[in-house]
A and B are shown apart, each in its own frame.
Chain A
């Protein structure tokens, strides 16, 4: 879980606030995965359980409806193409029940209409299949941050402090002079810390909606090289390890 390994950063004035957050959020985050493809739901659950999330799985509309009625979840992953009902109806159900659960739509349909409709109905995010589990994990973390801390949130990992509202990063209290893309990259590493991230996953994450953006991993390599350089200049440790032939890892242990 996100706030587990906090090395509390005393010099920062937000210490008290962060302490209260980490105390309040000691309980495990609970997720519901609504996905009819059994293998996919199991894989998602397996990955997220390693992140210390508690995962429930529902394979169809009715199962999902029962679980939503019976439990409170921090975040719900919702496949809208369910065999016995449209997932968007579940979303409507949730919103009429005034449940505060964060919802991420997982859809095989990467169509703008579905996306707009889903977000209008109150979903927090939308991710199109196929996706990298590290990407999904980053999105879940962002939704939970927004839901629980009303957006004004800081992530602290060792000497790093990330202000996700202002979209800035600090090392030892010193502002990192990094570009938007390098910020995205750093945040992605930090929320997926101690995980191997493949070059493809990083490239996909950085390109966002722009499908044609990165097809050349040299760009990923260059961005990582520059980020490492900036962190070193600011006096931070080199946590970003290159795992040859695989990808990169932000190693805090």
Chain B
């Protein structure tokens, strides 16, 4: 529910309730006042009549409008007020009357006297008042709704703009928000705070990103110096085997460090969503290209490769990331397939599956598989332990689902593409 509607429903509801209670209450109170007035009036008439009857005989009394009826006899009660509907032939309708009945003794004879007064006009007035109040209620409600709609347009539009801008805001992609000034103080405050916040966050984000990048990059130069030193040492003569073995180890370690650095940088970049360019990619062509690079290596280890790929399948993604994703999976399959083993690759419009015969008949530890630096017992010495995590991150970002399973002595990785069928 929108905030404006929520607030409006509350005050419109309250106003309706007040009016609904007040109209009948008002009606009842008014009715009571009118009746009291009538009764008082009838009392005056009685006094006047009793005064009159001292000088005039009741038989000679002529009542105008037939509103005073004097009969010999007596009523059971000494005095009684009540309402009664009487038929008026002239109007051909029933008309409410206020009636006063009382007993009187004139010249020693008892008389029952009835005074009646039409309530018609006062009923009309009451009805008119009730109608007018309902009218006021209706007008008030319409105004409330109208004001609410106006407020939403004028006051709340900047608020919704701010909300939308915040909704769409991505710290890695957008410049800090620059929301306009407003003449409503709260919105002005809100916009200023949001502007400040995004600016500050953006600065921190940029710093963090630059730090990670710079730290990784700065490490590469000293590594390059070390590597070049070793290369020169390599070319000088007269080293014994033991020394060269040490140099070789240092050289390999430098490469490992450099790869680790690059992989961490890549992960950071993926997480920061810095690979934004997207285009249509023919997956089977991309995979074929990667497989070509492994052509010799597969032959070397006498690994048989079976592919079954749907050549029409196209995805919309970042090419570099797809290259890394499938490159890593194929590289892993190659690395962990024993000599004379085989690798199977299949691609359909819903899934990519790569499976390879396992070196020993042991499944990988699933809970460690896609996690940073969680090396498997069977990992190769030179593995840096980031390849599958990188795959996982790429998949998450592209809404792919990646799964590992082990069956019949084969490791399988399966990627399901969502929203591509």
A204–B217 touching, CB < 8 Å:
no
Please encode chain B, from 241 to 254, with 1 for each CB lying within 8 Å of some chain A CB and 0 for all others: 11011011001101
- Residues from chain A with a CB closer than 8 A to the CB of B300 are 219, 222-223, 226
Q: Is the interface of A mostly helix, strand, loop or mixed?
A: mixed
The dominant DSSP class at the B interface is helix
Within 8 A of A (CB), among B223-237: 223-229, 231-232, 234-235
Please give, as numbers and ranges, the residues of chain B lying within 8 Å of A43 by CB-CB distance.
225, 228-229, 231-232
Contacts known (A179-B295, A210-B327); A132 close to B231, Cβ less than 8 A:
yes
Name the segment of A1-9, A54-62, A106-114, A160-168 touching the other chain: A106-114
Residues of B within 8 A of A195 (CB): 235
Residues of A within 8 A of B (CB-CB), count: 46
The answer to whether the Cβ of A70 comes within 8 Å of any Cβ in the partner chain is no
Q: Given A179-B296, A212-B328, A213-B293, A130–B252 Cβ distance below 8 Å?
A: no
Q: Which B residues touch A219, using CB under 8 A?
A: 297, 300
Evaluate contact between A39 and B225: CB separation under 8 angstroms. Answer: yes
Q: Check B258–A130 contact: CB distance below 8 A.
A: yes
- Asked whether A23 is an interface residue with its Cβ less than 8 Å from the other chain, the reply is no
B348 on the A face (CB < 8 A): no
User: B residues within 8 A CB of A232?
Assistant: none
- A47-B235 contact in complex given A110-B262, A200-B248, A215-B382, C-beta closer than 8 Å: yes
Residues of B in contact (CB 8 Å), total 47
CA distance A208 to B335 in the complex (A): 17
- Looking at B245, B254, B255, the one whose CB has the most chain A CB atoms below 10 A away is B255
With A and B bound together, what is the CA distance between A76 and B145 in angstroms?
Answer: 75
Q: Is there a chain B Cβ closer than 8 Å to A216's Cβ?
A: yes
Which residues of A sit under 8 angstroms from B213, Cβ to Cβ?
109
> Residue B244 contacts which of A129, A201, A246 (CB distance < 8 angstroms)?
A246
Contact A211 B241 (CB under 8 A): no
Chain B interface residues toward A at CB < 8 A:
213, 217-218, 220-221, 223-229, 231-232, 234-235, 239, 241-242, 244-245, 247-248, 251-252, 254-255, 258-259, 262-263, 265, 293, 295-297, 300, 320, 327-328, 331, 335, 380-383, 387
For this complex, 10 residue pairs linking A to B, each with C-beta atoms less than 8 Å apart, are A43-B228, A47-B228, A47-B232, A108-B224, A109-B213, A201-B231, A213-B293, A216-B382, A244-B241, A245-B244
Query: Given known contacts A40-B224, A215-B335, what 7 new A-B pairs fall within 8 Å (CB)?
Result: A40-B228, A47-B231, A130-B227, A132-B231, A180-B296, A200-B255, A223-B296
Which residues of A are in contact with B by a Cβ distance under 8 Å?
A: 37, 39-40, 43-44, 46-47, 50, 81, 108-110, 112, 128-134, 179-182, 195-196, 198-201, 204, 208, 210-213, 215-216, 219, 222-223, 226, 244-247
